[in-house]
């Protein structure tokens, strides 16, 4: 079983198209999305139309921005730009796309192959997991061998061996990581639509359950087009500026 793993698309259709172009000839049976389909960007319907029509088994969960854009939360905890964009999205969603967001599962969701999917952490979709001590707390929330998460927009892999020794490593560029069946893993594929590791390229991953590998990818997309769409829509300019720097 191979799964395409994406997260934090944030209404960035140029980025999503670049990702799909990169995996066009690759074989995968599952598409996993760890939430935040929308928010920040100006193309929520385009992104949702593509994600809803994806081939293969779809394992999708919602993110915090999806929750607000779907009208299920007022966005109180958001900063000004994030809230502005979430409310703008709420007003611009097509009816089918709004229903799709409203019906998205709240993580954690467990796949048939034993993966646990969550947006922030298995206990809280708004939780940011950045470091090893926090990763240890997250490992204790479940017994799953592999937990996939998003929300931080940073590609990273934490590994814990049988003795509870834990090691985290930020993922820089493209790489394939061989997983040890004796270890447990907490993996973030990074963000498709709004990377924040100072690399503006879209980040995503491919998980291979048979080979026990996770491959991280980075792809260049037309940042200027996405920025133009954001500015044209009247969304806060900071949302466009950040894309050029990957922050």
Residue among 150, 154, 8, 190 at smallest CA distance from 82: 8
In the bound complex, what is the minimum distance in angstroms from residue 8's beta carbon to Fe ion? Answer: 4
Residue 8 is a binding residue for Fe ion (CB under 5 A)? yes
In the bound complex, what is the minimum distance in angstroms from residue 179's beta carbon to Fe ion? Answer: 25
Query: Which residue in the shown chain puts its C-beta closest to Fe ion?
Result: 36
Q: Quick one: 8 or 127, whose CB is closer to Fe ion?
A: 8
Given the rule CB under 5 A, which of 7-15, 75-83, 135-143, 178-186 is the region that contacts Fe ion?
Answer: 7-15
In the bound complex, what is the minimum distance in angstroms from residue 141's beta carbon to Fe ion? Answer: 20
20-49: contacts with Fe ion (CB under 5 A): 36
How far apart (Å, rounded) are the C-alpha atoms in residues 222 and 41? Answer: 14
Q: Token pair for residue 75?
A: 């966005």
DSSP string, the chain: -EEEEE---TT-HHHHHHHHHHTTT---SEEEE-S--SSSSS-HHHHHHHHHT-SSEEEEB--HHHHHHTTSS--TTS-HHHHHHHHHHHHH--HHHHHHHHHSBPSPEE-TTSEEE-SSBTTBTT----SHHHHHHHHTT---SEEE--SS---EEEEE-TT--EEEEE--SSEEEEPPTTSEEEEE---SS---SS--SEEEEEEETTTTEEEEEEE---HHHHHHHHHHTT--HHHHHHHHHT-
Q: Quick one: 36 or 197, whose CB is closer to Fe ion?
A: 36
* Number of residues this chain uses to bind Fe ion (CB under 5 A): 2
Q: Quick one: 105 or 176, whose CB is closer to Fe ion?
A: 105
In the bound complex, what is the minimum distance in angstroms from residue 128's beta carbon to Fe ion? Answer: 10
Residue among 73, 78, 7 at smallest CA distance from 37: 7
Given the rule CB under 5 A, which of 3-11, 44-52, 107-115, 235-243 is the region that contacts Fe ion?
Answer: 3-11
Q: Quick one: 160 or 204, whose CB is closer to Fe ion?
A: 204
Given the rule CB under 5 A, which of 6-14, 134-142, 196-204, 226-234 is the region that contacts Fe ion?
Answer: 6-14
Residue 66 is a binding residue for Fe ion (CB under 5 A)? no
In the bound complex, what is the minimum distance in angstroms from residue 26's beta carbon to Fe ion? Answer: 25
In the bound complex, what is the minimum distance in angstroms from residue 35's beta carbon to Fe ion? Answer: 7
Given the rule CB under 5 A, which of 4-12, 66-74, 99-107, 197-205 is the region that contacts Fe ion?
Answer: 4-12
Binding site for Fe ion (CB under 5 A): 8, 36
């Amino acid at each position: 079983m191979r799964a395409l793993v994406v997260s934090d698309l944030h209404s960035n259709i140029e980025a999503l198209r670049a990702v799909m172009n990169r995996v066009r000839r690759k074989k995968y049976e599952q598409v996993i999305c760890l939430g935040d389909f929308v928010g920040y960007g100006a193309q929520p319907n385009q992104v949702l139309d593509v994600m809803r029509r994806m081939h293969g088994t779809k394992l999708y969960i919602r993110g915090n921005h999806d929750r607000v854009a779907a009208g299920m939360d007022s966005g109180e905890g958001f900063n000004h730009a994030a809230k502005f964009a979430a409310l703008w999205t709420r007003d611009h969603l097509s009816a089918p796309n709004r229903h799709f967001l409203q019906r998205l599962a709240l993580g954690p969701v467990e796949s048939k192959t034993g993966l646990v999917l969550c947006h922030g952490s298995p206990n809280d979709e708004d939780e940011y997991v950045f470091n090893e001590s926090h990763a240890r707390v997250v490992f204790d929330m479940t017994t799953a061998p592999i937990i996939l998460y998003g929300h931080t927009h940073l590609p990273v892999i934490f590994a814990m061996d049988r003795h509870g020794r834990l090691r985290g490593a930020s993922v820089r560029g493209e790489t394939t990581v061989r997983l040890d069946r004796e270890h447990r893993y907490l993996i973030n594929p990074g963000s498709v639509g709004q990377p924040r590791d100072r690399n503006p390229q879209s980040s995503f991953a491919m998980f291979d359950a048979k080979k026990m590998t996770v491959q991280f990818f980075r792809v260049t997309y037309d940042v200027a087009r996405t920025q133009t769409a954001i500015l044209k829509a009247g969304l806060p300019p900071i949302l466009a500026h950040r894309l050029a720097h990957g922050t």
